[in-house]
Amino acid sequence: MQSRDNTAPTARRRVQASTTLNRKYVSRPARSTDVMVKVNKNQTSQPQVSKVTAKELKEQAIKKALAEASNTTTMAEKTTDKKSGKIKFGFGRVMLALSCAAAAVFAIAYFININMPDISLKVAAMQTGINASYPSYVPRGYVTSDISSENGKVTIRFKNSTENTSFTLTEEKSSWDSNALLTNFVKPTYKENYSIVREQGLTLYVSGSNAAWVNGGIIYKIEAENGILTNKQIRSIAVSL
């Protein structure tokens, strides 16, 4: 009985396979820490950056430059438009100012032209010391062509360019009255070819288109060189002085 008990355990030990591994031929199992490191690296790894070639960089730079140039051109055009608007507005204002100035100059010139005879007459009157006057009535078509002063008298020349006719009005300071004028000037000059016309207190000696009268110490004479003045026109000139 003792011999059986000694052999039985031995037989069981021979049948059971050994679980011991030979470390010489089996790789060492990875540690848990190594596995964790690999997982963390995979989770935190960043994407790879693609390399850009020199050609691509050049093309990108060209596109950017073109885009900036386009934006600059657009802004310049807008600025030009605004400036053009301002220039147009400024030009319009300049033209308006010039038009107003031209109108003002024209008005002044017209005013001077209208009043020039009176201004020239006053200058001539100052030179001669005569209180000369300009007629408020002038026959239609006649304009003042000249005002002169000499030998103590003032002469105003009127001309009608359309009809090529003219006449002069002379004003001379004198102490003569109508009778002295008749004796000293009318009869020697007009001979018997004259008529006496009385108009608004004035005594006019009329000979054709010529006439002479005295008023306020001034002798007035109308002499028509190659023009024809009617009796009515002569009277109108006389009473308008």
Q: Is-contact 131 151, C-beta < 8 A?
A: no
Reported as type and span, the H/E element at residue 3 is: helix 2-15
| pLDDT at site 119 | 75
How far apart, in whole angstroms, are the C-alpha atoms of residue 184 and residue 192? 14
The CATH code for residues 83-241 is 3.30.200.100
Place of tokens 């016309």: 197
Cα dihedral 79/85/91/96 (nearest 10): -150
How far apart, in whole angstroms, are the C-alpha atoms of residue 210 and residue 189? 11
How far apart, in whole angstroms, are the C-alpha atoms of residue 178 and residue 214? 6
| pLDDT at site 73 | 53
Taking residue 223's Cβ as centre, other Cβ atoms within 10 Å add up to: 17
Cβ contacts of 212 within 8 Å, gap of 6 or more: 181, 185, 186, 189, 204, 205, 219, 220, 221, 222
| pLDDT at site 72 | 57
The structural domains of the chain, with segments of one domain joined by +, span 83-241
Classify 81 as helix, strand or coil.
Answer: helix
Structure confidence by residue, pLDDT tens digits, 112-127: 555 556 677 778 778 7
| pLDDT at site 225 | 74
| pLDDT at site 10 | 46
How far apart, in whole angstroms, are the C-alpha atoms of residue 50 and residue 55? 14
Instruction: Please report the DSSP string for 143-187 in residue order.
Output: EEEEEEEETTEEEEEEEETTTTEEEEEEEEE----HHHHIIIIIH
How far apart, in whole angstroms, are the C-alpha atoms of residue 166 and residue 133? 19
**Positions in the chain short of pLDDT 50:** 1-3, 6-11, 21, 32-45, 47, 49, 87, 109
